[in-house]
Amino acid sequence: MRRSLAPAIVALSLALAGCASTKSAPVASAPPTAPPRLIVAIAVDQFSADLFAEYRNHFTAGLARLQQGAVFPSGYQSHAATETCPGHSTLLTGAHPSRTGIIANNWFDPGLTRADKKVYCAEDERDPASTSGNPVVSAVHLKVPTLGERMKAVWPTSRNVAVSAKDRAVIMMGGHFIDEAYWWKNGAFVTLAGQALAPAVTIENTVLTMRIKRGEAGYAVPAWCAAREREVKAGPASVGTGHFAMEPGKEPQFRVSPRMDAATADLAIGLTDAMNLGRSAAPDILSVSFSATDYVGHATGTEGVEMCIQLAELDRSIGRLLDHLDLRGIDYAVMLSADHGGLDLPERLAAQAVPQATRADRALLAGALAKAVSQQTGIATPDPLIYADGPFGDYYLSHRLSSVQKAQVLAALVPMLKAHPQVAAVFTATELAEAPLPVGSPQDWSLKDRARASFDPVRSGDLVVLLDRAVVPITDPSPGYVATHGSAWDYDRRVPILFWRKGVPGLEQPAPVETVDIAPTLIAMLGLPVPEGAYDGRCLDIDGSAANSCEGPK
Ligand SMILES: [Zn+2]
């Protein structure tokens, strides 16, 4: 690939000069008649429909512009396991996790020969150098092609580029064949094994290393955020009053702040210029997953001054990216959504009209359950009897059990879980395997339907446990980790879905739609052939006028 340093340096100097994006004015122009030359697919990690509703009127930059397009405020990540990897896997494949194979961030294979029985969604565990905690990043577990791969199949010169702070976001949006893939690791952007860093990325890494070493002051608090500044204690953690000051050398204070998203936007801008995205014979796709909203949500919850500052800055970072594409004269279309929603920390929820909010009971952790089952049945194994990635979700039984023992363990475990006051539902793998794939509106799906859409017969657990509403599955909060997502409830399932393209009349459609509708919608916009039955979703007509975008380019 031909790479030029100059545009990257220009983009970076603009970014470092603190070039703020200006408010985007509505642009009156003729409706486009040809497919866009660049698809910009944006994921905002943990951007719930609730956060979008709370903040949408305050946005003035990128997120204001996107609201002039097609706005679906009630999009659904319809499945039960509302985590980053499954959520990103639905965005550009049109498929639920039951079809993408990405059932969770981590699953277990108790038969795995390596000591680490946990499998990370974006690793190749067959590589001896890979562990779930330090993975050899790979798309081997993704069972379906992404939009970028479908574009390449039709237009071999089409470029598929994906950037994020998170490797799993890059892999699940980009897929198996990514031209340039970057994520953040140990204080720098890195890429796939065997690939060299683009010069634009090397330059950005140098600048970021210097900034982290030097430290930075906190952010100014927008006036409309001030009312959210109130201290809340969660165990040893204190949240609600942070402004993201970065002490010299403290890389996590860079990552868990709006700086991470600004750096991700800079990377997207630098690659757009260096690769001339959107300006060659075939349409290209640039996937950008902004991770800081999720990092901030986990560290400080969703309703403090921190999230308010974060979203105001995210708006500016997205605006800067879009303004740059305008400046380059690229004909592009934007899609923005999220991998899952989120919930505030129970300590603040309980003080703000949700008194039932609480933390999951330690008795639901795999070790505690295994002890209780062993006492009841007399069955024990030298390895753990039960594996799970937290106090909910998929639970796996030891492969050392005979089929008779397995039945005995399940006979003890299932009633024990069902009797727990925090448990909403328990499903066995057999029950889910026999359940039909859900149809109809995702807001009406039963808990079993939601669990079915997350089920894979090989990767899913022997049991799936869903907790009650407002039971936060962090048993013990700590500084940096007080709130989370992952439940089967709508605060974790509902996300905004926005589409914008210059000249296309906007619309607002509050009816429920799904993130699996995104890929068929973009496919129609591009005029790509749609393989029969390839999707769980449907095309959304995102043209607010009488024209129908699902009929493809004219
Ligand atoms: Zn996420």
Asked if residues 75 and 495 have their Cβ atoms less than 8 Å apart, the reply is yes
pLDDT at 531: 79
Token pair 């991998």 is at which residue?
339
What CA–CA distance (Å, rounded) separates 347 from 345?
A: 6
3-state DSSP call for residue 333? strand
Per-residue three-class SS string for 497-528: EEEEECCCCCEECCCCEEHHHHHHHHHHHHCC
| Ligand 1 geometric centre to CA of 242 (Å) | 21
What CA–CA distance (Å, rounded) separates 273 from 3?
A: 9
Q: What is the mean pLDDT of the chain?
A: 94
Count of other CB atoms within 10 angstroms of residue 214: 10
| Ligand 1 geometric centre to CA of 485 (Å) | 8
pLDDT at 226: 95
pLDDT at 18: 38
Report how far Cα 110 is from the mean position of its chain's Cα atoms: 27
| Ligand 1 geometric centre to CA of 312 (Å) | 19
Closest by CA position to 476, among listed 295, 236, 133: 236
495-511 burial, b at 16+ Cβ within 10 Å, e below that, comes to bbbbbbbbebebbebee
Helical axes 199-214 vs 258-275, angle rounded to 10°: 160
| Ligand 1 geometric centre to CA of 30 (Å) | 37
CA distances from 514 to 21, 311, 451, 494 (A): 31, 23, 16, 9
183 phi, psi to nearest 5 deg: -145, 175
Domain residue limits, the chain: 31-102+142-349+489-551, 111-141, 361-421+423-467
State which residues of the chain have pLDDT below 50.
Answer: 1-27
| Ligand 1 geometric centre to CA of 245 (Å) | 24
| Ligand 1 geometric centre to CA of 484 (Å) | 9
pLDDT at 29: 64
Count of other CB atoms within 10 angstroms of residue 155: 16
| Ligand 1 geometric centre to CA of 84 (Å) | 3
pLDDT at 554: 67
3-state DSSP call for residue 229? coil
| Ligand 1 geometric centre to CA of 545 (Å) | 34
Give the H/E segment covering residue 214.
Answer: helix 199-214
What are the catalytic residues?
A: 84
The token pair at 422 is: 């925090």
| Ligand 1 geometric centre to CA of 67 (Å) | 22
Closest by CA position to 305, among listed 242, 252, 246: 242
| Ligand 1 geometric centre to CA of 551 (Å) | 33
**Is residue 375 exposed (0-12), middle (13-18) or buried (19+ Cβ within 10 Å)?**
exposed
Fold (topology level) of 31-102+142-349+489-551? Alkaline Phosphatase, subunit A (3.40.720)
Report pTM: 0.94
pLDDT at 27: 47
pLDDT at 4: 42
Asked if residues 480 and 296 have their Cβ atoms less than 8 Å apart, the reply is no
CA 96, 99, 100 angle in degrees (round to 5)?
Answer: 80
| Ligand 1 geometric centre to CA of 461 (Å) | 21
| Ligand 1 geometric centre to CA of 340 (Å) | 6
Look at the chain and count its residues. Answer: 554
Q: Do domains 31-102+142-349+489-551 and 361-421+423-467 have the same CATH topology?
A: no
What CA–CA distance (Å, rounded) separates 27 from 32?
A: 13
Fold (topology level) of 361-421+423-467? Gyrase A; domain 2 (3.30.1360)
pLDDT at 530: 77
